[in-house]
Amino acid sequence: MPTPPTPRRDLLRWQFDLTWSLAGIHLDTLMQDDFLWEPTDLVWTVRPDPEGVWRPDWADTEPDPMPVPTIGWLTWHIGWWWGTAIDHVEKRTAPAREDVHWPGDGAATITCLRDLREEWVRVLDGLTETDLDLPSAYPWPADAGLTIAHLAGWVNAELMKNVAEIGHLRMLRAASLA
């Protein structure tokens, strides 16, 4: 039985669909070499460890100046925070950040992002008004007083920000090759 319509969820879903349609503009045109392109010397990227597992650069305290992330790093970051958001709403224990790896190539990365989209749509479409009012301790502290509705709004905003960063890097790379 489908979840009954709810104005807040429907608005969050509309906003998500808009954001995802804009993501497609960039994700659909990325080429393998775009993912690890470094626009400057100071970057955060993803690198294979000795076992071939792709791990992101990371610092527990943001460095100053802040490194420019590569598209590979940004796509890893999306996978990490979005998977964690889904796990939180589904009441599952999310893996530690260190256990979330980049897939290792562009096509696999895009597939992972599309899979996350499908999973998020399923989760979002299943939320009721009551669910939206449940407390959420992700991505902020548990005592912040925020809800699953706030988390869903944050997913939309964070995805829009990360997609804009990917798009900007894609356009800068294209311009540098022209």
pLDDT, one tens digit per residue, over 42-51 is 999 999 999 9
129 and 6 Cβ atoms separated by less than 8 Å:
yes
What is the residue whose two structure tokens read 């964690």? 84
Mean residue pLDDT across the chain: 95
Per-residue pLDDT, 3: 72
Whether 1 has a pLDDT exceeding 80, the answer reads no
- CB burial of 115-128 (b: ≥16 within 10 Å; e: otherwise) equals ebbeebeebbeebe
134 and 147 Cβ atoms separated by less than 8 Å:
yes
Lowest mean pLDDT among 73-77, 137-141, 154-158: 137-141
Per-residue pLDDT, 171: 95
- How many helical (H) and strand (E) elements, i.e. helices and strands, does the chain have? 6, 4
Mean pLDDT over 59-84 rounds to 97
- CA dist list (Å): 137 to 87, 94, 95, 108, 164: 12, 13, 16, 30, 26
pLDDT, one tens digit per residue, over 90-149 is 999 999 999 999 999 999 999 999 999 999 999 999 999 999 999 999 999 989 999 999
DSSP secondary structure code for residue 135 in this structure: B
Cα–Cα dist 150/158, whole Å: 12
Percent of the chain with pLDDT strictly greater than 90: 94
Q: What domains lie within the chain, and their CATH numbers?
A: 7-45+66-177 (1.20.120.450)
DSSP secondary structure code for residue 44 in this structure: E
Task: Measure the CA dihedral 43/22/110/69, to 10°.
Answer: 10
Mean pLDDT over 71-84 rounds to 98
Per-residue pLDDT, 142: 86
Q: How many CA atoms lie within 13 A of 78 on its CB side?
A: 31
What is the residue whose two structure tokens read 């005592």? 143
pLDDT, one tens digit per residue, over 30-43 is 999 999 999 999 99
Instruction: Give the 3-state secondary structure of residue 53.
Output: coil
